[in-house]
């Protein structure tokens, strides 16, 4: 009976602490646009430069937008994600102020990832060296114990300490290695899927992901994209959806 009284509160704590994460979607504030594979693209085709944009997904601390820019003109111009401006209007204007910032520069993010990968690789290498040193020192201590006929308890203690120290260092090495792999995978997304700084020639187009910092207190994201001396503007409204919404038609789906 006493065990049951202990287990029941622990189970209650476990299930209460594992609340599902809310889902965020950004929807255009207008019904205009075109749909493609579940994404509503807003567009500006009022000049010889066509711009299309749609919310794609959440991605860590960012919102990812699918963007395509088509140059139908006769001159080249620079496409640079770092020059895309964003203005957020807060949900609670009495508590929060509008914020102005730019989309994330892929080149700066990739540089930060390279630094983080280098640090993780160095940590993994250092931890492996420490594991070898600790284990080697333990073996020396064990040999010394045997040579001096020390009590078996002391020899066992030295052996256990050496093994434990080596295991801790090996685990640290494994963790650092996994972090390096995760960073490398994340880096591939930024290298291959984003719009990178590009001179867009006539009759050419560029498409990819633009990452914008996530602001949970924002209601609207007003995104301004500069293209050859002109600015095109799009507005998306942030919708935070509770995963525990009752009567959800998706509930019970695998």
Strands (E) across the chain are located at: 23-28, 34-36, 39-44, 49-59, 62-71, 77-79, 85-90, 99-102, 198-200, 204-213, 218-227, 230-241
Tokens, residue 7: 């287990």
- pLDDT, tens digit, 9 for 90 and up, residues 172-183: 544 445 454 455
For residues 50 and 44, is the Cβ–Cβ distance under 8 A? Answer: yes
In the block, residue with structure tokens 């066992």: 156
Q: Give the C-alpha separation, 56 to 70, whole Å.
A: 19
What's residue 3's pLDDT? 46
The whole-chain average pLDDT of the chain stands at 77
- pTM for the model: 0.69
- pLDDT, tens digit, 9 for 90 and up, residues 81-115: 999 999 999 988 888 899 999 999 999 988 888 88
Confidence of residue 242 (pLDDT cuts 50, 70, 90): confident
Coil vs helix vs strand at 122: helix
> How distant, in Å, are the alpha carbons of 5, 49, 53, 106, 210 from that of 102?
55, 21, 16, 12, 11
What is the CATH number assigned to the segment(s) 20-105+193-241?
A: 2.60.40
- pLDDT, tens digit, 9 for 90 and up, residues 159-217: 555 555 555 545 554 444 545 445 556 778 888 889 999 999 999 999 999 999 999 89
């Amino acid at each position: 009976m006493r065990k049951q009284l202990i287990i029941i509160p622990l189970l209650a704590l476990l299930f209460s602490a594992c609340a599902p994460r809310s889902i965020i979607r950004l929807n255009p504030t207008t019904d205009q646009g075109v749909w493609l594979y579940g994404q509503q693209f807003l567009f500006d085709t009022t000049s010889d430069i066509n711009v299309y944009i749609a919310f794609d997904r959440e991605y860590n601390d960012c919102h990812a937008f699918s963007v395509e820019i088509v140059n139908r003109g006769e001159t080249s111009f620079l496409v640079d994600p770092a020059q895309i401006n964003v203005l957020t209007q807060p949900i609670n204007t009495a508590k929060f102020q509008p914020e102005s910032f730019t989309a994330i520069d892929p080149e700066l993010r990739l540089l930060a990832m390279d630094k983080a990968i280098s640090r993780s690789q160095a940590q993994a290498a250092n931890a492996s060296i420490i594991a070898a040193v600790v284990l080697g020192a333990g073996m020396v201590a064990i040999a010394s114990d045997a040579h001096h006929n020390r009590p078996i308890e002391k020899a066992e203690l030295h052996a256990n300490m050496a093994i434990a120290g080596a295991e801790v260092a090996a685990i640290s090495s494994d963790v650092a290695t996994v972090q390096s792999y995760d960073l490398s995978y994340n880096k591939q997304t930024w290298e291959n899927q984003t719009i990178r700084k590009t001179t867009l020639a006539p009759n050419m187009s560029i498409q990819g992901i633009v990452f914008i910092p996530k602001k949970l207190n924002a209601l609207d994201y007003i995104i301004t994209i500069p293209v050859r001396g002109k600015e095109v503007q799009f507005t998306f409204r942030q919708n935070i959806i509770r995963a525990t919404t009752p009567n959800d038609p998706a509930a019970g789906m695998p």
